[in-house]
Structure 1
Amino acid sequence: MARRSITQLGENESINEVYVASSKQLRPNRQGNLYLQMQLSDKSGAVNAMMWNANEGIYKRFEDGDYIRIQGTSQFYNGAMQVIVSHIEKVDARDVDESDFMQVSPQRMDDMLKELAEHLRAIRNIHLRNLAECFLIDEALIARFRKSPAAVKNHHAYEGGLLEHVVNLIKVGKAIVPFYPQVDEDLLVMGILFHDMGKVDELSTDKGLAYSDEGQLIGHLVSGVSIVDRLTKEAEKLADEPFPEELALRIKHMVVSHHGKLEYGSPKVPMTAEALALHYIDSLDAHMHGFDKLLADDVNTDSRWTTYSPQFGRKLYKGGGEA
């Protein structure tokens, strides 16, 4: 019998399937009775799940990141799908086909890393190329970067998502540079590489997608600047000469300003041509990916419109059929 993926769930369906558990919490309701709240996911997406009348024993039956078999029923709540769970049991990872849960295959990650290396080694500025080389030879950083998601939700929220996001942005960035000669292509590529690099420390995939303690306390912008500082020191050793101070400042400015607005978490707004270009192509890639995901996950299968999206602040038009 074929497995039932998250995005295939319809209203009021009986479910007996294996998913990855994350973000579990044991909480009291208004009457003081405990219930279990968690997220279930597979490679197609994620859904919130609740188990009423839970207890400490059920809560300790599994950990975030474990495979669990759940029995329950799907339902719509506030325009979104959720699952009401009646039974949970932990499943041995050896009994699971991991390809059902990985959105980006290991081979695809290897291919994207190779493509990224080709872009970085094509950089003409010798200082920036040395910096890129220091990144490429840092095996520990590459290993974390290769697995990191780009977010916990909304866009590229899966292992390999950050790598995919960066490669997409470099290709978009290189495509627009001929129309904007004031933008330095090498500097833009380097800013794209490092703009979300701090997410290797901010986000964790060890127990499902979640924020690490460093992510909660510091955030990826500060962590990203620290990584740039460390690698520029390595580049100085490689070249046996100081790394140009202005180049370092411009890269770090792109990291701290790429959200675009102070209210979006950037301590600085874009003040260079490369920082401005990075902000807009980063937003474009994130929103277009979020658009595709919203349409794929939408529970309004019989409507031309999606449900309301908090990410976009609106419904989105799906089209289809005659007007």
Structure 2
Amino acid sequence: MPQTVATLRAGDELAAVLACTRKDRLTARSGAPYLALELRDRTGAIPGRAFRDADALAAGFDRGDLVRVTGLVERFGDQLQVQVRTIVRADPREADPAAFLPVAYRDLDELDGFLEHLAREVHDPGLRGLLALLLDDGDVRAAMRRAPCTRNGHHAYLGGLLEHTVAVGTLVVEVTQLHQGLDRDLLLTAALVHDLGRTREFTYGAEIGLSDEGRLLGHVELGLRMLAERAPRVAGLSAERRLALEHCVLTHHGPDAAGRAGAGSRFASVEALALFRLNAVDAAVKGAIDHGLGLDGGG
């Protein structure tokens, strides 16, 4: 059975892949450098100390990496710590971030099924074709199952993007039954793709980080680019429908948050307004459930 932090006892020899969530180079009273570490998995965290060859060891990994570490578990005062012998960055093929990062509460296979059901509710040929092109892409589907929505706000865990997408799509189905003047196909498609850029926004290791394109462009721009890459390949998707969909995606945090010249300060369609409100409802409610009423749900 693989070692976990929760099962470690004084005297154990540690040999495991763990997340490094703290890395400080300090100086002992003798003047020699040493490393102060925090090593973590989903079961807990344990401090680590590396006194021998501290600088050489430090060159082999960074804070935020998944690391392969060996050492001796000892009791220091009232807590356990690891006297580290070796520590190096783990091979990505041997370390699944899902073992170290928080994951969705709901079953991802079930959410995948809901996503496909919602996509089948879109009857407009062009929009339905665009959704099919996206959902038939195995890389996109895998990325949707993995990505969070945020790093510290609502749905801030692996699979959070899929959970939030299904929730907003479900809200659209309900709202369009109450308000039949809404363009159901447009609004539902927009709900299912509005956060598509999240699939390229993050990196995964000891912590959820931002990719370079996520940091520099943001998920709205990334999502629009993903749509632009595929839309020309969809028969029957008119320029007018594509533009209406892109406007919904662009303004799903509000027209002032779009950050693009020409976005304007108001919505160009009632569907864009509806998506903004429904997205905000799910984000705010989920954020409050997970973090308390003081959290602004954000995206």
Are the equivalent residues in 1 in contact too, given 2:48–2:83 (CA < 8 A)? no
Separation (CA, whole Å) in 1 of partners of 2:34 and 2:253: 37
Separation (CA, whole Å) in 2 of partners of 1:213 and 1:265: 20
Question: 2:282 aligned with 1:288, yes or no?
Answer: no
* Alignment correspondent of 1:277: 274
Q: Cα distance 1:278–1:67, how it changes in 2: closer, same or farther (>3 A)?
A: farther
* Superposition CA RMSD, Å: 4.5
Are the equivalent residues in 1 in contact too, given 2:182–2:271 (CA < 8 A)? yes
Separation (CA, whole Å) in 1 of partners of 2:212 and 2:188: 29
Separation (CA, whole Å) in 2 of partners of 1:205 and 1:116: 24
SS of corresponding position for 2:20: strand
Q: How many residues align?
A: 268
* Alignment correspondent of 1:245: 239
* Alignment correspondent of 1:103: 103
Return 5+ residue gaps in structure 2 as ranges.
7-13, 27-32
SS of corresponding position for 1:154: coil
Counterpart residue identity of residue 127, structure 2: L
Match of 1:260 among 254, 261, 264: 254
Separation (CA, whole Å) in 2 of partners of 1:265 and 1:71: 53
SS of corresponding position for 2:19: strand
Separation (CA, whole Å) in 1 of partners of 2:95 and 2:224: 41
TM-score calculated relative to the size of structure 1 = 0.65
- Structure 1 residue 168: Cα displacement: 0.9
What are the superposed Cα offsets for residues 162-192 of structure 1, whole Å, 9 maximum, x if unpaired?
A: 1111011111121122222232221111111
* Alignment correspondent of 2:143: 144
* Alignment correspondent of 1:66: 66
SS of corresponding position for 1:21: strand
What are the superposed Cα offsets for residues 138-161 of structure 1, whole Å, 9 maximum, x if unpaired?
A: 122222222111112111122211
Q: Cα distance 1:121–1:144, how it changes in 2: closer, same or farther (>3 A)?
A: same
Q: Cα distance 1:35–1:43, how it changes in 2: closer, same or farther (>3 A)?
A: same
Return 5+ residue gaps in structure 1 as ranges.
5-15, 29-33, 74-84, 296-305, 314-323
SS of corresponding position for 1:123: coil
Separation (CA, whole Å) in 1 of partners of 2:34 and 2:271: 49
Separation (CA, whole Å) in 2 of partners of 1:50 and 1:135: 44
* Alignment correspondent of 1:158: 157
Counterpart residue identity of residue 258, structure 1: H
- Structure 1 residue 133: Cα displacement: 0.9
Counterpart residue identity of residue 121, structure 2: A
SS of corresponding position for 1:198: helix
Are the equivalent residues in 2 in contact too, given 1:260–1:266 (CA < 8 A)? no
Are the equivalent residues in 2 in contact too, given 1:145–1:163 (CA < 8 A)? yes
- Structure 1 residue 116: Cα displacement: 0.4
SS of corresponding position for 1:233: helix
Separation (CA, whole Å) in 2 of partners of 1:152 and 1:98: 15
- Structure 1 residue 247: Cα displacement: 0.8
* Alignment correspondent of 2:224: 225
SS of corresponding position for 1:134: helix
Separation (CA, whole Å) in 2 of partners of 1:35 and 1:270: 57
Are the equivalent residues in 1 in contact too, given 2:19–2:205 (CA < 8 A)? no
SS of corresponding position for 1:291: helix
Q: Cα distance 1:137–1:41, how it changes in 2: closer, same or farther (>3 A)?
A: same
What are the superposed Cα offsets for residues 29-72 of structure 1, whole Å, 9 maximum, x if unpaired?
A: xxxxx99899977659x99x999x9x755644644241688999
Are the equivalent residues in 1 in contact too, given 2:200–2:213 (CA < 8 A)? yes
Are the equivalent residues in 1 in contact too, given 2:176–2:182 (CA < 8 A)? yes
Are the equivalent residues in 1 in contact too, given 2:147–2:157 (CA < 8 A)? yes
Separation (CA, whole Å) in 1 of partners of 2:183 and 2:37: 45
Q: Structure 2 matches for 1:48-87, cutoff 5 A?
A: 56-57=55-56, 59-60=58-59, 62-63=61-62, 64-66=64-66
* Alignment correspondent of 1:180: 179
Are the equivalent residues in 1 in contact too, given 2:104–2:159 (CA < 8 A)? yes
Separation (CA, whole Å) in 1 of partners of 2:96 and 2:4: 13
What are the superposed Cα offsets for residues 184-240 of structure 1, whole Å, 9 maximum, x if unpaired?
A: 22111111122111111121225631111111222211111111112212212xxxx
